[in-house]
């Protein structure tokens, strides 16, 4: 056996005792990618430097493996969004309309989908990832790599357990967004209406 690999093997054995309970990015990805469908509610707080109080919006979401994300805003206004590999679509009276894909909002939503689906390889292209904690209680910090993302975000903090619980976007201009995902459950399959929304 190559001496280098022998040394690696010895180091690995030495590390087993201290790393037996270590929780890594691969395990987190597998954990978040397990559920086929997740239903839940969200509360989003947008903290803007110019305003004394945060802008708060609420709604529900459906995350479906191999399909994407339905983001259903209820207050302060009603608006449905669908985020998939094809892009972001908004529902109007004529059905789903694909939105232009080059906006900062589009990048943010693509990132959001990668986070919820546990796509750490997708995230690692754009961010340095630092994970701490356990499978039951973890924190993931994303620090931008690219100049484009560095112009928008200082960092992104994500925490959760079995599923993602909060996502905090810290922007370079001093604004921030805190997203709380509540009552998330992986027990409920897609309804006929939800399947139709993803199929359109």
7-21, pLDDT tens digit by residue? 344 333 333 333 344
Residue with tokens 């309970």: 21
In this structure, is residue 105 part of a structural domain? yes
Q: Is residue 178 within 8 Å of 47, Cβ to Cβ?
A: yes
Nearest residue to 40 (alpha-carbon basis) of 196, 167, 137, 163? 163
76: cis peptide before it, omega within 30°? yes
In this structure, is residue 102 part of a structural domain? yes
Query: Which residues have C-beta within 8 Å of that of residue 44, sequence separation ≥ 6?
Result: 56, 57, 58, 177, 178, 179, 180
Number of domains in the chain: 1
pLDDT per residue over 55-76, tens digit each?
Answer: 999 999 999 988 889 999 999 9
In this structure, is residue 121 part of a structural domain? yes
In this structure, is residue 16 part of a structural domain? no
Strand duo 79-84 + 68-75: pairing? antiparallel
Which residue range forms the structural domain that includes residue 68? Answer: 23-199
In this structure, is residue 5 part of a structural domain? no
CATH number of the domain bearing residue 38: 2.50.20.10
Mean model confidence pLDDT for the chain: 83
Could you write out the DSSP letters of every residue in 147-192? HHHHHHEEEEEEEESSSEEEEEEEETTS-EEEEEEEEEESS-PPPH
d(CA 45, CA 175): 11
Q: Does residue 46 register a pLDDT over 70?
A: yes
pTM: 0.80
In this structure, is residue 12 part of a structural domain? no
Taken in order 109, 135, 39, 197, the sign of the CA dihedral is positive
In this structure, is residue 193 part of a structural domain? yes
In this structure, is residue 1 part of a structural domain? no
pLDDT per residue over 136-195, tens digit each?
Answer: 999 999 999 888 888 888 999 999 999 999 999 999 989 999 999 999 998 899 999 999
Output the six-digit token pair for 152: 């928008």
């Amino acid at each position: 056996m190559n001496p280098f690999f022998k040394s690696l093997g010895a180091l690995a054995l030495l590390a087993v005792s201290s790393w037996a309970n270590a929780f890594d990015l691969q395990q987190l990805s597998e954990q978040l990618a397990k559920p086929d469908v997740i239903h839940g509610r969200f509360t989003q707080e947008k903290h803007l430097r110019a305003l004394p109080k945060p802008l708060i919006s609420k709604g529900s979401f459906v995350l479906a493996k191999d399909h994407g994300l339905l983001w259903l805003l209820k207050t302060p206004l009603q608006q449905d969004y669908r985020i998939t590999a094809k892009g972001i679509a908004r529902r109007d009276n004529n059905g789903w309309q694909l939105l232009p894909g080059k906006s900062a909002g589009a990048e943010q939503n693509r990132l959001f989908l990668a986070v919820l689906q546990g796509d750490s390889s997708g995230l690692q292209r754009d961010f340095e990832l630092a994970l701490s904690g356990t499978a039951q209680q973890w924190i993931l910090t994303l620090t931008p790599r690219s100049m484009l993302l560095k112009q928008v975000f200082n960092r992104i903090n994500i925490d959760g357990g079995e599923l993602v619980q909060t996502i905090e976007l810290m922007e370079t201009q001093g604004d921030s967004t805190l997203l709380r995902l509540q009552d998330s459950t992986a027990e409920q399959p897609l309804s006929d209406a939800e399947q139709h929304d993803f199929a359109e």
